[in-house]
């Protein structure tokens, strides 16, 4: 799914055993939504979903985005009824070597040329 040029990763990253590897496969702009179970009421069984491999707080989400090469621009907590979610907008940060490589690809120039 894409929104305004960004890939949207909605309620999926917490299910990944290797979330950084998953993030590295995505585009340059991301919108990420993950459960913020630390704020859920006990009757909602926070941190007990067997499908969830990650239990995100702001620090862990930021760490995973940075390890995958993204710079987080916006991080918010979204409260919906008794549930809470972290939302993040992030942009991939390219070093000069990556920028040159991307430019060559965009121009159709091979490395040997």
DSSP state of 51: T
Q: Which domains does the chain have, with CATH numbers?
A: 2-107 (3.40.50.150)
Residue 110 has pLDDT above 70, yes or no: no
- pLDDT-derived band at 9 (thresholds 50, 70, 90) equals very high
- The model's pLDDT over 43-65, given as tens digits with 9 standing for 90+, comes to 999 999 999 999 999 999 999 99
Question: pTM of the full predicted structure?
Answer: 0.80
Statement: residue 86 has pLDDT above 70 = yes
Percentage of the chain beyond pLDDT 70 is 86
Sign of CA dihedral 66, 68, 70, 75: negative
Report the Cα 13 to chain-centroid distance in Å.
Answer: 7
For residue 56, the Cα-to-chain-centroid distance in whole angstroms is 11
Per-residue confidence (pLDDT) for residue 61, from 0 to 100: 96
């Amino acid at each position: 799914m894409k929104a305004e040029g960004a890939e949207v990763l909605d309620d999926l990253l917490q299910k990944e055993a290797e979330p950084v590897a998953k993030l590295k496969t995505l585009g340059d702009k991301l919108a990420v939504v993950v459960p913020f179970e630390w704020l859920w009421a006990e009757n909602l069984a926070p941190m007990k979903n067997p499908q969830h491999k990650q239990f995100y707080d702001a620090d862990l989400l930021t760490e995973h985005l940075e390890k995958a090469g993204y710079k987080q621009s916006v991080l918010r907590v979204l409260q919906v009824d008794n549930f809470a979610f972290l939302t993040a907008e992030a942009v991939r940060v390219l070093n000069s070597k990556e920028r040159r490589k991307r430019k060559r690809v965009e121009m159709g120039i091979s490395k040997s040329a």
